[in-house]
Amino acid sequence: MSESQPSLAATARDYWRAFAPAWVFPLVFLYGGLASERIGHASLFFWAIATPLFFWSFGRASAPWLRQEVSYWHGVFWSMVMPFLIWVLAVFSRLAVLGLLGNGNVG
pLDDT tens track for 75-100: 999 999 999 999 999 999 999 888 88
Asked if residue 81 lies in contact with residue 22, where contact means CB atoms within 8 angstroms, the answer is: no
**How far is 61 from 19, CA to CA, in rounded Å?**
5
pLDDT tens digits, one per residue of 28-65: 999 999 999 999 999 999 999 999 999 999 999 999 99
What contacts 48, CB < 8 A, 6 or more positions away? none
Tell me how far CA of residue 41 lies from CA of 37, 38, 47, 105, in angstroms.
Answer: 6, 8, 10, 19
